[in-house]
Amino acid sequence: MVAPATRKKDQYQAFHTNCNYITSYMAGLLQCNDYTTVLEPCAGEGAFIDEILNKDLSPSIKAYELNDVSLEKLYEKYNNISNVIIEKEDFLLLLPMFEKKFDRIIANPPYGAYQSPERRKQLKRDFPEIYAKETYGLFLARSMEMLNDRGKLVFIIPDTYLTLHMHEGLRKLILANYKIESVTLFSSNFFPDVNFGYAGLSVISIMNEKPDKNHKFPVYNGLKRVSDLPELLTNAKKKYEVCKLSYQRLKKNPSAAFFLPPNNRVITAINSEAPRVSDICSVVTGFYSGNDAKYLRRSASVKRGAKKYAIVDIDEICTDDLSINPPLNGITEPSHWVPIVKGGNRRFHKPSEWYMDWSKNAIHDYRVANKKRARFQNSQFYFRQGIAVPMVSSSSITGSLIDGRLFDQSIVGIFPHDKYKNFTYFLLGFFNTKVCNGLIRTINASANNSANYIKKIPIIIPSKSKLCESVHHEVERLVSLAKSGDVNEEELQKLNRYFDEIYGTKNA
């Protein structure tokens, strides 16, 4: 599990749980006694085994590990302890039907560990429903199979399984067959030497028992520091309980996602019959030249990328209104550099600062000569009016007008269907609001706004045309403000109030 953002082809992902608060909390949830059998599927240097033994318990413990350095330490440590058995074995390749089952399993599995293509193939065969790139899901799935009836496991894993689409199979497997006892959420910086920005951490406790349809489990959240964890083993845990999630509800959610409050109205909107963005707009990613160092130029005011990108010659910029007759086959005139909207979180309007070579020769390269690297995709939307939402948002989702320019592959372009063209400003406003941010972060907890997540956002168009008009006027004001500088949070208050009224999130 738990790796810094700069991961390479790391085979083992050996981040050890050297934190007593975490090991003690997890062992506390595990509740073993001298008679239980315990499995540690990926033991590292034995952080969890030590925790159990330090509690003066002597259950019989079996531990697997692959890394020779760790194995040496494990053999040395537990050589004289007869109830601890260490084996060098790839846990994921064990065949559960030939293996003994366990009363308890505790783990901090490797997360996203490198798999060779052959191994990935085999794992995909063994776990067809589980996303094979994220090793933690595989460890969890295999461990659940290795539990005795009413046996229990406690895992520390990233919280991405709660909502990410790729973990749908894992969620459905759990909801159909196992009882989640609790989920505890906390910041990844609780874990020594780790802080991954895109997700938090969670401790999940699961029992091997067929769940009845009314099963519910508590979610704990809001711990400020790692030393708060022991409170969760006492009656004080109630103050961290943010909700009880019911299996009945979760099964009905899109892709069985584990949406969390606090914003119940947001969840109501997600579960409502309201049309999705994809029902009223085309949602597409943009263009890539295949070699930006060659084909992309910057205006002199841009300092970012100064070494890589040349400055565009002002006389060679195409200043025509390209939306009238989009030049999809290239431009013959010398002024063949067209403005392109790139990533970067700026609201409502982005000045033209980047230019793409749109000469006939360049187009030939994008479409033919360098077609493997370039992405001349969704070209029917180039040079149109639409909304640009950067694929990755720094803190909050933002949208700006494309205004008849090209848009690059780091942008999701949102183009209202003909019937909804008049709502372009309404939608532009929406993509800059708190309620839109709440919706997309509920659909997908990470900072990723990929087209597939944007498509799922529910769009409520108010029946009161006066409210629509008010939004439209306010967005016009914000667009012209954005043309003279960045729009700050203060300026968004009125727009946020309108959309809170529309989505009923006023007091949420």
Ligand X SMILES: C[S@@+](CC[C@H](N)C(=O)[O-])C[C@H]1O[C@@H](n2cnc3c(N)ncnc32)[C@H](O)[C@@H]1O
- For ligand X, the binding residues (CB under 6 A) are 1, 12-17, 42-44, 47-48, 64-67, 70, 90-92, 107-108, 110, 113
Which of residues 111 and 499 has its CB atom nearest to ligand X in the complex?
111
Which of residues 27 and 388 has its CB atom nearest to ligand X in the complex?
27
Residue 217 tokens, joined: 């489990």
Residue nearest ligand X, CB atom distance:
44
Which of residues 10 and 316 has its CB atom nearest to ligand X in the complex?
10
Q: Tell me the torsion sign for CA atoms 18, 24, 27, 32.
A: positive
Alpha helices, DSSP H, located in 274-408:
277-280, 292-295, 360-364
CB of 350 to ligand X, least distance (A): 41
Which of residues 64 and 348 has its CB atom nearest to ligand X in the complex?
64
- List the one residue out of 284, 283, 278 whose CA is nearest residue 409: 284
- Separation between Cα atoms, residue 287 and residue 388, nearest integer Å: 13
Residue 211 tokens, joined: 């769940």
Q: Tell me the torsion sign for CA atoms 176, 177, 179, 183.
A: negative
CB of 41 to ligand X, least distance (A): 6
CB of 87 to ligand X, least distance (A): 9
Which of residues 98 and 212 has its CB atom nearest to ligand X in the complex?
98
CB of 158 to ligand X, least distance (A): 11
Which of residues 13 and 184 has its CB atom nearest to ligand X in the complex?
13
CB of 276 to ligand X, least distance (A): 38
Q: Tell me the torsion sign for CA atoms 408, 413, 417, 423.
A: negative
User: Which position has the token pair 């008009």?
Assistant: 469
Which of residues 65 and 365 has its CB atom nearest to ligand X in the complex?
65
Encoded amino acid at 387, one letter: I
- List the one residue out of 137, 172, 173, 171 whose CA is nearest residue 155: 137
User: Which position has the token pair 């090991």?
Assistant: 23
CB of 139 to ligand X, least distance (A): 8
CB of 150 to ligand X, least distance (A): 24
Residue 481 tokens, joined: 């403000």
Q: Tell me the torsion sign for CA atoms 225, 230, 235, 240.
A: positive
